[in-house]
Amino acid sequence: MGDAATDLKKQVTDYLATVFPETQGNEGWSLRVSMPFPQSWNGQPTPTVWYAYADRSSTQSPNGVEVSQAWATVTQEADPCRPLQLVWLQKGIVPLGFQGPGPSARQIFRWRGAVLGTGLP
């Protein structure tokens, strides 16, 4: 990423940090921001859009993280002099699922063995 893109990503992240939803009773979430897309389409300048979501570590997935649904978008119009625009997609943080490495081959054999009654140690 060039300096201008890095500066814009920091601006978007800093902006989102000021509006990050309250997570009382659902603590541990950290702000995450998607990569920007698209910056141009068919050679024409278009708005740049980022999606805001959250993640947190979880005992259910020790090698991965729990991720949330996107809770907002931030748009920078093609004219960089225009202010960032925030659109709320939902209120608060809504868990989506877990992201991380899949099960090992040994775990798969154990599960298969348990189901078939031929368990491995």
> Cα–Cα distances in Å, from 64 out to 2, 33, 60, 61, 103?
30, 18, 9, 5, 11
Annotate 4-52 with DSSP letters as a single string.
HHHHHHHHHHHHHHHHPPP-TTS---EEEEPPPB-SEETTEE--EEEEE
85 or 62, higher pLDDT: 85
pLDDT band of residue 46 (cuts 50, 70, 90) is confident
Question: Is the pLDDT assigned to residue 56 strictly greater than 60?
Answer: yes
Question: Is the pLDDT assigned to residue 44 strictly greater than 60?
Answer: yes
**pTM for the full predicted model:** 0.70
